[in-house]
Amino acid sequence: MKKIDHIGVAVKNLEQSDNLFSKLFNKDPFHRESLDSQHLNVSFFELGDTKVELLEPQSEESAIHKFLLLKGEGIHHVAFEVEDIHAEMERLKNEGFQPLTETPYVGALNKLVCFFHPKSTNGVLVELCQKEDH
């Protein structure tokens, strides 16, 4: 793993949260996107070489909707940038970590992503992400 790529924060209202975090960070989000396949709206703030991703559910089908019902707004996941997501997925599976999907898929910012179950990572939902140029 290279570095923390971003921290994902579950929010109920993206517009209100964008305003709140814009005041907190003294800057506007640099990217907004709808991920219809994941039933999400997201925005990203850049802070040095890492980012904060705000995640708003589009519907009750979203995993973020379920998260908000159970835990409320707050940190949802920590994402780590990797060079080779397929190799890193295999390495982690061989170490006993439990992936939530068998293969990576395209997520926000057009990156390949996969997640590991928090039950296998001391309660932290871990995301791996790989830049699109690989």
Which tens digits make up the pLDDT trace of 74-101? 999 999 999 999 999 999 999 999 999 9
- pLDDT value at position 10? 98
| Structural domains of the chain ordered from first start | 3-130 (3.10.180.10)
Q: For the residues of the chain, what is the DSSP string, one character each?
A: --EEEEEEEE-S-HHHHHHHHHHHHTS--SEEEEEGGGTEEEEEEEETTEEEEEEEESSTTSHHHHHHHHH-SEEEEEEEE-S-HHHHHHHHHHTT--BSSSS-EE-GGG-EEEEE-GGGTTT--EEEEE-TT-
- pLDDT value at position 132? 76
- pTM summary value: 0.94
The answer to whether residues 3 and 83 touch, using CB atoms and an 8 Å cutoff, is no
